[in-house]
Chain A
């Protein structure tokens, strides 16, 4: 973990909102020269705080009208190989994320599909057939917003 000041956090918030901004443009926003801002961005990147980029797509326009969040419980825990399950579930291209969680479910998944019929196909043929899958709960995503987190409030 690295120490950050208010200027670092303002830079992170700016890049979080729009990663196409240049060091010069961000510098103007936060009151730094281009080289000074570039040095700070480099330091944050080297420390692993800037962990790559996320492309926001209009999923419907690229043909994926449905996103579903799944909660999965493993059945007969002792007899299921967790690593086999994780490998099989991760290999499904429609499965965008897999998180191992603690609580009501064992895994939380984000799945994209072309439409509900396509989702049903992925669920029945690909997911439910994996050994060890027990209870599944599906919730269809209606809306989503991402927030800047503590950076946006500068409380970090």
Chain B
């Protein structure tokens, strides 16, 4: 489990992932060397799994984002695997999640505009295997995205 120093390091890192280590160490009230050692330990032990650049899709011309909630036909035991494998091959799919609940799978689809979305939906999404039911939620606005955790 994590100790207090680990939590302090993670809190600062999550709050400002792009900041220099020296800055983060200062905010955590630690020396740069000890901050760095903690960070290394958290990375080596797999608590920190990776650091990824966020791509701002609208800046690249992808203005539409739709969250599709999908219920699968579960008579086939391979339904999940086959659906997910096929969904991965659709270039405009950026996230795939599986759930316990009313929804089995959720995928996020991005598109340049509504016409583009419609063609992806018809040609690539509706043709995915084992779909029993699907509902679309179109993102209107992002009110909050906060990677921090109440650590």
Contacts and interface: CB of A to CB of B under 8 A. Distances in A.
A30 interface: no
Given A62-B151, A96-B146, A48 B52 contact: no
B144 A18 contact: no
Contacts of A2: 59-60
A51 B47 contact: no
B100 A147 contact: no
B96 A147 contact: yes
Interface string A58-99: 110111100001010000000000000010011001111111
Given A95-B144, A100-B140, A152 B49 contact: no
A71 to B, nearest CB: 8
A56 B2 contact: no
B132 interface: no
A61 B42 CA distance: 10
Contacts of A104: 69, 135, 137
Contacts, number: 208
Contact of A100 (B52, B60, B143): B143
Interface string B44-56: 0111111111111
Interface string B33-74: 000000000000111111111111111111000010100000
B43 to A, nearest CB: 9
A55 B102 CA distance: 29
Contacts of A89: 143-144
B104 to A, nearest CB: 9
Given A97-B146, A98-B143, A143 B54 contact: no
Given A58-B46, A149-B94, 13 more contacts: A51-B56, A53-B18, A54-B147, A55-B13, A56-B51, A59-B149, A90-B144, A104-B69, A105-B137, A138-B101, A139-B106, A145-B97, A149-B93
25 contacts: A1-B58, A1-B59, A2-B59, A12-B55, A18-B50, A50-B56, A53-B51, A55-B14, A56-B51, A61-B45, A62-B2, A62-B47, A63-B1, A63-B151, A93-B149, A97-B142, A102-B140, A112-B149, A139-B106, A142-B100, A144-B97, A148-B94, A149-B55, A149-B91, A150-B91
